[in-house]
Amino acid sequence: MTLAELQAKVFLGLNQTSTNSRVTSAQINDWINEGYRRIIKATEIPHRIVRTMKTNFYTLCSDAGTSTGTTLYVDDASEVQAGQWIYVNNGTCYEFVKVASISENTITLESPGLVNEFTDGDYVSSNMIFLPYDFHSLAGRVRYEEISSGSQEGGYLNPLGRVTEQIRQGLIQSSGTPEGCYLGEMDFYTESGLTTDTGTTTSCIIDDGTAVGHVNDYYNGWLVVNETNNATARVLDFVKTSLKLTLNKTIPNQTNGNSYHMERRLLTLWFDTIPDDQYRFWIEYNRVNELVNDYDVPLFDEDRHYVLIDYALWRAVESDPYIMTPEMAQFHKNNWLGGFRELKIDYDNPLDGSVSFRLDSDVEDEEPGYWG
């Protein structure tokens, strides 16, 4: 079934359950995709491979002032984001600190910030980058090339598994050319208290000036949560000068003055040493699939598509206080869980070995992304 057909069957199921439901089509779309992501996370169904390029944060302290405490002055802050861990070194000592916010080329650090003083020419780097929002798993080794050499010298990073706190602390003991990489946990960061302004449409937001993204593309991949209309969308593009956020889908009834917040939910990649220069990293990855267009079809067998209908009906009945038969939520939840187990039986031992399931409990975790 296509996404449009799935949505129609969910509406039909709601009408059979209750005639006074106030669930919207946007909510149904979100719930279908929520269930789909949970199935994709619990499987290794082949994903479409995507290639992207990321650049690590590397710059020098500027002559704008002495950097100490929670204030760090740098030559170029375009590659850094709030919540990112950075390394500051003056040749005698180094410190590992976390970014709180950025304004142009002035970085505010989380307290207590820097203990020592750093001046013009001291270098600032990070061995942490954020992966695309639709990252599922690596499709091959990460290739890197040095930018400053002009010769595009580089090589491939060895995948080293998942980073732990103990490993992360050891990664700051040396600097140089990265040779390996670790996958970090999902990074959560929220900007709250935002409102829409004039020019807002259902598929874009013109912010009222409270969004703090300091460069173009800063919010790309973030999730927009319209609190007024209880709806979400993904940021496709951000333009700093106009404070315009282009969304991946429409938010019904979105108008000027709506309240919203933005959430960054991205996996991270950590290098096995602090980069001593700026590098390009070419990453081929399997993407988390979402059903976006009306004609999009789930990757698993059509005979099992009904599990997405039951998942959406479970979430709809559970969340809508106007539905007079709340016991149907448990009914559809049981159908969803039973359908998932049948999917597991289908794909536990495929003849071509292309699909395998991890633990049954993985389906309870809604956040996509894993090492592979």
Give SS3 for 65: coil
pLDDT digit string, tens, across residues 151-199: 567 899 999 999 988 888 888 888 899 999 999 988 889 999 999 998 8
Q: Report the C-alpha gap between 142 and 270 in whole angstroms.
A: 12
Alpha carbon dihedral 142, 132, 216, 66, in 10-degree steps, equals -60
For the cut 80, the answer to whether the pLDDT of residue 290 exceeds it is no
Q: What is the pLDDT of residue 367?
A: 36
Q: Give the single-character DSSP code of 207.
A: B
Alpha carbon dihedral 75, 78, 82, 85, in 10-degree steps, equals -60
pLDDT digit string, tens, across residues 261-278: 999 988 999 999 999 899
Q: What is the pLDDT of residue 321?
A: 74
Residue 231 identity: A
Q: Report the C-alpha gap between 272 and 334 in whole angstroms.
A: 45
CA 13 to chain centroid, in Å, comes to 32
Q: Report the C-alpha gap between 150 and 146 in whole angstroms.
A: 8
Q: What is the pLDDT of residue 268?
A: 93
Lowest mean pLDDT among 117-121, 132-136, 291-295, 347-351: 347-351
Model confidence pTM above 0.85: no
Place of tokens 């919010």: 219
**Most confidently predicted of 84-98, 198-212, 237-251, 338-352:** 84-98
Q: Report the C-alpha gap between 130 and 80 in whole angstroms.
A: 10
pLDDT grade, residue 292 (50/70/90)?
Answer: confident
